[in-house]
Amino acid sequence: MTRERLSCKNCSKPPAPGKVRCEECAELHNLTEAKRRAERRAAGLCVVCGAPAALDDDGEPQSLCPADRETYAYRREQRKQRAKRKRTRGKETRA
């Protein structure tokens, strides 16, 4: 299900197609996000919530905390299921 927005999440301009922000705000958001992620990652924290990141088998911090890893694994699974359903439903819809 997709929600159509009438205006950007950050300003009153129309959002980019299929996005919650206009292109300008999206770009700014991406930059801020990328910086925050890089900082958290460097500090061994979850890039999503800033909690201590999960450790891999070598004891190296990963990019997500255990809770977010679960959330993402779940979402990935959901997406996979959806993709599978779409594929089995039939014909190519992309132009």
Residues binding Zn ion (CB under 5 A) = 8, 10-11, 13, 22, 25, 46, 48-49, 51, 65, 68
CB of 71 to Zn ion, least distance (A): 8
Task: Name the DSSP class of 48.
Answer: T
Choice between 8 and 61, CB closer to Zn ion: 8
How many CB atoms are closer than 10 A to CB 45? Answer: 20
Choice between 34 and 83, CB closer to Zn ion: 34
Choice between 74 and 81, CB closer to Zn ion: 74
Taking CA atoms, 6 is separated from 25, 27, 39, 65, 84, in Å, by 15, 19, 33, 34, 32
CB of 26 to Zn ion, least distance (A): 8
H-only helix segments in 9-90 = 23-42, 66-89
